[in-house]
Structure 1
Amino acid sequence: MNDGSSVAQLAATLRDELIRYPEGAKLPASRVLVARHQVSPVTLSRAIATLAAEGLVTSRPGAGVFKATQQRRTGTAGDVSWQEIALAAHPPLGGVDPATRGAGAAGVLATLTSPPPEVIDLNGGYLHTELQPERALGAALARAGRRPGTWSRPPVEGLPELREWFARDIGGPGGTLAASDVLVAAGGQSALTTALRALAAPGAPVLVESPTYPGLLAAARAAGLRPVPVPVDADGVRTDLLAQAFEATRARLFVCQPLFHNPTGAVLAPQRRAEVLRIARAAGAFVVEDDFARRLVHADSPALPLPLAADDPDGVVVHVRSLTKAASPSLRIAGLSARGPVLERLRAIQVVDSFFVPRPLQETTLELVGSPAWAKHLRTLAGALRDRRTAVLTALAAELPALLPQRPPYGGYHLWLRLPDGSDEREAAASALRRGVAVTAGGPYFTAEAPAPYLRLSYVGTPGTAQLEDGVHRLRQALS
């Protein structure tokens, strides 16, 4: 019993037991707690670490664990009402209301918030621990820790060996992408933020798919940019409308997810791939390709198309390739690649924002992707994603057949469910939560009002398929 739910349950139990102890009192020895609660020493250690992080206990090596002494706040509460004026008093940033720079994080926070242990998670955007390569990650971290120089400062662009690996991974066999075209970034979100800030001035329009990933919309608004939606259908972004949007806005940037688009799961059709590049090139614009799901392909998927960056000798595409989704939410590593002078702009923005990605994390990543365990994990993950998708679709066919997507994706980890006209998606999500299942309302995936009600259903946040089937059953009860 060492998974996240067991840790959370034990931490809750210990939290209740702490009420009986006076401040500074010593808790029973670890062996006593392990026997009393029938858990492993690892689970106990993690639960104690949780309580320590909350400031409820203190751990003293060689002495034991003690209930923390709470510091009493003295004096009266301060008056922070002045901040309302200060935060709104700045002049408009390039014509954009400065208040929007801090807005739009709700959609991101929804996928980062872990529901209580008793709630089935059909909302999260990261692999459950059952799907993560924990042993391979631990072994890679241990090997990286023994490397000479692991704790020294890395090059600001990233370790040369890791940049070379990303160049091969993105460009494919015989690709023209070089290690010098790649920057190592601290995850996909950080890479997207760097690209937005480097390629568009505050107040400028940026074309985005509609619907699209809420983290992109939040990052664009935080940078003072104005997201302009371009509709997506079953074959990806509508290229006829993309051309119109460039002409109407004079935008110089389009951000897209051509492979297993979030949230629809669409794959950009072959005939539209060349069109996207041609339209952007004619507009003198960049295309930021967020290739977040390439390592989330299902075992029964057809052959994948190459990235747009592989067909782009002219430097139109700025490519983002993250390893986080396929490994662990804490392995925040991505490759940010571009050709031409724009790479220096990206490098400058990234250096100012974060200096560099910590070397131990880069060394661990190198150890992971260079080991046989990585390839084995990807094969295992592909089979698990296929099985989970099949389980959810089968459950939907039995419980909610009207919500079945017409073209289920063969990659990624989510389904985009169209609710009947007139449905209140927020109430549907709230009702589902009351039934013990967490799903995501579709509204935050649109730049403005949604054209129809949707729910996004993720199938990687649970321990197995049994919970997925139960979650769909509870969702039917909530919607009925």
Structure 2
Amino acid sequence: MTIHEPVRTAADQPPLAARASAVGGSPVRDILAVTARPEVINFAGGLPAPGLFDSEGVAAAFRAVLEEMPERALQYSTTEGEPALREALAGRIAARGLPTGADDLIVTSGSQQGLSLLATALVEPGDTVLVEDPCYLAALQVFAFAGARVVPVPCDDDGIDPAALDALVAAERPKLLYTVPTFQNPTGRTMPVERRAAVAEVAVRRGLWIVEDDPYGELRFEGERVPWIAAQEGAAERTVLLGSFSKVMAPGLRLGWLRAPGALLRACAVAKQAADLHTPTVNQLAAARYLAERDLDAHVARVATVYGERRDVLLAGLPDSLPEGSRWVRPSGGMFVWVRLPSGMDAGELLARAVSESVAYVPGAPFFAGVPDARAMRLCFVTQGPDELREGLRRLRSVFC
């Protein structure tokens, strides 16, 4: 008699974590992948203009640190970041009205990592997080991964409505408020100083953390700089300030920073140890050398001048490129113009037609934590030069008009 062994089959793989299955990818990244053809004029990305990078200055800084201190530049570093870079960053922040020392800062792998560290240190699954409506897409991803319940705060053309914020904090007992108050992504709007003071007052009175993200604040084309929320009365101990070199030096360096009160800063340092130990040493030392030997402010001023000219080209062409009844925000800086098409139009549905015309934008609906606005779309105006912008506007006209 022959005894047959049972057929053995491979066991199923253990499933992904629920959060990995529930959180989708970035619509912007998906659109950029689809529209990577060189003939496409892409208003979709938030990409700094590569032709304006100070590549010679950055290269010189890398050469200097690799020639003068290769053993240190190629070695592990402290989790909080290289002292020289933290000292330089602290000086820049203090000069802009917020007293800061090197020990108040952690150098992060882009300000996006700072946001992830804060979610790890602050947010438990089920916690409520308040965000602007609409909100920076990657922030929505971070909070979703943390298992947060994300609640939008009503906003107008000046940003967060303080009275609505006060009512929501009382009703929802949130852990934090996330905001990009200067040249916001996606709307381009800027919160006036009076509104910032009112938001800070709510946070102090109600016991709320504010996460103030400022990746675009130095890219001002006109008007006076508005002080950070963190600099408002009583707000420094309630506010985490995030910043980045991505928009003012180069995004490929992946250098950002996080300023926070002591206990929270220490918790973020532990979270960073678990994430990546530290931000690359050579990049930090090169950035510190660049700040010591080059005039970053002068470079940013040159970039902002060019970006302002490109904004003006885009705004001048929108009336003839969009259907009658469209509305948009005129930003005083940053990288984006936020458009609302007339009632009944759907920017998401029209994207495929736009791509067929070799032009792309980001539909606005994914930016909303609450009810999406199908009419909305975001246009980035900094990556292309004036002639490409005008041609892109001509192609948009063939889509919408």
Counterpart of 2:310 in 1: which secondary structure?
A: helix
- Retained in 2: the 8 A contact 1:405–1:415? no
CA distance in 1 between partners of 2:268 and 2:145 (Å)? 17
Q: Which runs of 4+ in 1 moved over 6 A?
A: none
| Aligned match of 2:283 | 361
| Aligned match of 2:5 | none
Given candidates 260, 264, 271, the residue that maps to 2:183 is 260
Structure 1: 5+ residue runs without aligned partners? 1-78, 91-97
User: Would you say how many aligned residue pairs link Structure 1 and Structure 2?
Assistant: 389
CA distance in 2 between partners of 1:101 and 1:223 (Å)? 13
How does 1:68-217 map onto structure 2 within 5 Å? 82=12, 86-87=15-16, 98-99=18-19, 102-110=22-30, 113=33, 115-148=36-69, 149-172=72-95, 175-217=98-140
| Aligned match of 1:346 | 268
Given candidates 397, 410, 417, the residue that maps to 2:339 is 417
| Aligned match of 2:246 | 324
1:254 Cα shift? 0.5
The answer to which of 161-170 and 466-475 deviates more is: 161-170
CA distance in 1 between partners of 2:245 and 2:290 (Å)? 11
| Aligned match of 1:446 | 368
Q: TM-score, normalised by structure 2?
A: 0.91
CA distance in 2 between partners of 1:314 and 1:377 (Å)? 29
- Retained in 2: the 8 A contact 1:233–1:266? no
- Retained in 2: the 8 A contact 1:121–1:437? yes
| Aligned match of 1:71 | none
1:155 Cα shift? 1.4
Kindly provide the CA deviation profile for residues 54-85 of structure 1, in whole angstroms up to 9, marking residues without a partner as x. Answer: xxxxxxxxxxxxxxxxxxxxxxxxx99945x7
- Retained in 2: the 8 A contact 1:259–1:266? yes
Root-mean-square deviation (Å): 2.1
Counterpart of 1:190 in 2: which secondary structure?
A: helix
Q: Structure 2: which amino acid aligns with 1:293?
A: Y
CA distance in 2 between partners of 1:157 and 1:112 (Å)? 33
CA distance in 2 between partners of 1:417 and 1:318 (Å)? 30
1:427 Cα shift? 1.8
Q: Structure 1: which amino acid aligns with 2:26?
A: A
- Kindly tell me: are residues 111 and 242 of structure 1, through their superposed partners in 2, closer, same or farther at Cα, counting changes over 3 Å? farther
The structure with the larger Rg is 1
Q: Structure 2: which amino acid aligns with 1:415?
A: V
Q: Structure 2: which amino acid aligns with 1:287?
A: I
1:459 Cα shift? 1.1
Check if 1:466 corresponds to 2:395: no
- Retained in 1: the 8 A contact 2:192–2:226? no
Counterpart of 2:151 in 1: which secondary structure?
A: strand
Q: Structure 2: which amino acid aligns with 1:322?
A: S
CA distance in 2 between partners of 1:281 and 1:154 (Å)? 36
How does 1:398-417 map onto structure 2 within 5 Å? 398-400=320-322, 402=324, 405=327, 407-417=329-339
CA distance in 1 between partners of 2:140 and 2:167 (Å)? 21
Q: TM-score, normalised by structure 1?
A: 0.77
CA distance in 1 between partners of 2:298 and 2:158 (Å)? 31
- Retained in 2: the 8 A contact 1:120–1:436? yes
Q: Structure 2: which amino acid aligns with 1:129?
A: P
CA distance in 2 between partners of 1:325 and 1:105 (Å)? 22
- Retained in 2: the 8 A contact 1:111–1:123? yes
CA distance in 2 between partners of 1:438 and 1:352 (Å)? 38
Kindly provide the CA deviation profile for residues 247-280 of structure 1, in whole angstroms up to 9, marking residues without a partner as x. Answer: 1211020000111111111111222111111111
- Retained in 1: the 8 A contact 2:98–2:230? no
Kindly provide the CA deviation profile for residues 338-359 of structure 1, in whole angstroms up to 9, marking residues without a partner as x. Answer: 1232111111111111110010
Larger relative contact order (Cα-Cα within 8 Å, sequence gap ≥ 6):
2
- Kindly tell me: are residues 318 and 415 of structure 1, through their superposed partners in 2, closer, same or farther at Cα, counting changes over 3 Å? same
| Aligned match of 2:4 | none
Q: Structure 2: which amino acid aligns with 1:131?
A: L
CA distance in 2 between partners of 1:423 and 1:305 (Å)? 35
1:446 Cα shift? 0.7
CA distance in 2 between partners of 1:81 and 1:442 (Å)? 43
CA distance in 2 between partners of 1:319 and 1:153 (Å)? 26
CA distance in 1 between partners of 2:379 and 2:281 (Å)? 36
1:401 Cα shift? 6.7
Structure 2: 5+ residue runs without aligned partners? 1-8
CA distance in 2 between partners of 1:382 and 1:375 (Å)? 10
1:175 Cα shift? 3.9
CA distance in 2 between partners of 1:341 and 1:397 (Å)? 51
- Retained in 1: the 8 A contact 2:193–2:227? no
| Aligned match of 1:69 | none
- Kindly tell me: are residues 142 and 460 of structure 1, through their superposed partners in 2, closer, same or farther at Cα, counting changes over 3 Å? same
Q: Structure 1: which amino acid aligns with 2:387?
A: A
Q: Structure 2: which amino acid aligns with 1:444?
A: P
